[in-house]
Amino acid sequence: MSSLPLRKLLVDTDPGGDDAIALLWLQSLVRQGLAELVAVTTAQGNVNGSRTFTSACQLLQLGGCAGVEVARAVADPPGILPDARHIHGADGMGDLSATLPASRRDWQTAPSADDTIIDALTQSPGEITVVGLAPLSNLAAAEAKRPGILKLAKEVVLMLGAFERQGNVTPLAEFNAAYDPQAAQSVLESGANLVVLPLDVTQELIFRRQTAREMRSRAPESAIAVFVDRLCEFMTETALRYRETAGIEGFLVHDAVTVAYLFYPETLKFRRAEVRIETEGRYSAGYTFIDRRHGAKLQANAFVGCEVNRQQLLAILRDDLQQLIA
């Protein structure tokens, strides 16, 4: 058992192939005694809110954390984007949900995500890290209902935005930012202790098809290994179709970078910056930007990931997933 302090986490997610990998990685760290999942809140994004709730429940059951509280999305945002089922499948998980343990929870009677966030942070101020893998509708709703609530988080770690890279849903915007720009603006202006991990680092992280095959070959009877292999197969086909990986067989595990920051920060480099977002532009809504000019950054509101050691990070991810499978 590790002597490192236990990290308490509340994860906001919209599974999502990359969300699935991140959630399994976190559950490996729970098993290793490094993390405690306080709650998982689900958002509309990659697919609709009821589906992301069910998927999160299934992933927690698969990974051994079935007892963790799961909350349903707040009312769907007036999104300017369609969902991402063309990337992640109709169920958000490569159309593999029927192969996973059935969800034992009722979406309609589940607690609301904003209330779950408020309750958790109020009960344990300064102790819980909020990890945002989805559009920020739930976090913004909590902040609107209880102004200042996000300041009670130890950190708010977000997979969000693009600065030196093009967007992945428009030429300027990353999906989580573009799906609900007003929510992102609310969180960026909340005064919370923010860490922003953009496409600048996540687009380096290709989980290779061969890695998934090797994991399954070592444990062919493992439900987790089989799921990861089949998910990678589906997502690789999508990635190649949309030319996301420059012909490399694998898929981008954007959300995994949040886990790396929390537990393996040596794999990343950061800058301190003021992150802003365009909320109204006809062509630029969701565009995130920082001031790159030389000069004092007196209004900085976040640490922003700018470099990643992809080989080291992906090797750690592989090894930790292997521990969950073993």
Give the integer Cα–Cα distance in Å for 223 and 27: 15
Buried b vs exposed e over 23-46: b needs ≥16 C-beta within 10 Å?
A: bbbbbbbbbeebbebbbbbbbbbb
Buried b vs exposed e over 235-251: b needs ≥16 C-beta within 10 Å?
A: bbebbbeeebbeeebbb
Q: What is the largest CA-CA distance in the chain?
A: 57
| Structure tokens that stand for 3 in this block | 């002597």
Q: Is-catalytic flag, 88?
A: no
| Structure tokens that stand for 55 in this block | 């998927």
Q: Which of 86, 88, 254, 294 is catalytic?
A: 254
Task: List, as one string, the DSSP characters of 213-276.
Answer: HHHHHH-TT-HHHHHHHHHHHHHHHHHHHTT-STT-SEEE-TTHHHHHHHH-GGGEEEEEE--E
Of 269, 241, 275, 271, whose CA–CA distance to 257 is shortest? Answer: 269
- Cβ neighbours around 48 below 10 Å, total: 15
Catalogue the active-site residues. 254
